[in-house]
């Protein structure tokens, strides 16, 4: 795909049919300039924005499908992930740090699923301890 012109007319653009709509790269750049950003992220606030930033981190770094595969097949992982992002948000931790923690835990998921769940849970507990009292 990458580097293949296909029918897009633009190197590295694997989207089918886009070449017909944007025969010149300049026109494509103009379209992108008129429609910038991630609409869901731009309009989101609070906890929703936080989890979308985490999802965007995985997408930009090429791990979205890996995360989705685990989430689709492992309810305990989904719960641990959900608790971690909520605790990270409540503690005021940067979303990319939380995403990095999840990515770290995913590295050993296939070899030791239980270790992954334990690590996510203990990291959640660390965030919960770091929160100011009264929250």
Distance in Å from the first CA to the final CA of the chain: 49
Euclidean distance between CA atoms 108 and 111, whole angstroms: 5
**Is this model's pTM higher than 0.75 or not?**
no
- Measure CA 56 to chain center: 4
CB 90 within 8 A of CB 135: yes
pLDDT tens, residue by residue, 32-86: 666 555 555 556 678 888 888 898 899 888 898 999 999 999 999 999 999 999 9
């Amino acid at each position: 795909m990458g580097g293949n012109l296909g029918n897009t007319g633009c190197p590295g653009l694997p989207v089918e049919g886009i070449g017909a709509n944007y025969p010149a790269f300049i026109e494509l750049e103009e379209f992108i300039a008129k429609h910038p950003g991630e609409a869901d992220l731009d309009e989101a606030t609070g906890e929703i924005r936080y989890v979308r930033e985490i999802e965007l981190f995985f997408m930009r770094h090429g791990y979205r499908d890996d995360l989705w595969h685990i989430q689709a097949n492992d309810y305990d992982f989904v719960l641990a992930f959900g608790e971690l992002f909520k605790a990270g948000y409540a503690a005021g931790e940067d979303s990319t740090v939380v995403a990095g923690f999840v990515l770290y835990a995913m590295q050993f998921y296939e070899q030791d699923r239980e270790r992954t769940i334990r690590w996510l849970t203990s990291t959640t507990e660390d965030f919960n301890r770091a929160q100011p009292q009264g929250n």
